[in-house]
Homo-oligomer: A and B are copies of this chain.
Amino acid sequence: MGVTRTDIYSEKENRIAAFAKVIGHPARVAILQHLFKINTCICGDLVDEIGLAQPTISQHLKELKNMRLIKGTIEGTRVCYCIDKENWNSMSRLMQDFLGQGLQDGEECC
């Protein structure tokens, strides 16, 4: 209990859920938003931009990195993060397919 049973779902279902789970926190949405906006790299202004402590931001960045939605390169004493567009687009497509299923607004059933 407390642990999600991934074994009983399809690969695809697990992937969609895993992607969504990472997006499922406003801090991570805000980080991604910010990285999209200032198309060029940013480093540690995220701590100022968003109002969370540095270790908390670092933790969120780690999760985004684990899901390969962002990548970071060391630049002196700073780290420069940006969207991993290739992977983002791939995950994005997966999600869009899932979301798009609702579009045919046929007969509501109940």
Report which A residues bind B (CB closer than 8 A): 4-6, 8-10, 13-14, 16-18, 20-30, 32-33, 36, 39-41, 50-52, 71-73, 75, 80-83, 85-86, 88-89, 92, 95-96, 98-103, 105-106, 108-110
Contacts and interface: CB of A to CB of B under 8 A. Distances in A.
Nearest to A25: B17
B40 A109 contact: yes
Q: How many copies does the complex hold?
A: 2
B110 A89 contact: no
Given A73-B110, A99-B95, A30 B13 contact: yes
B26 A6 contact: yes
Contact of A24 (B21, B81, B92): B21
A17 B23 contact: yes
B106 A39 contact: yes
Contact of A82 (B8, B24, B96, B110): B110
A36 to B, nearest CB: 4
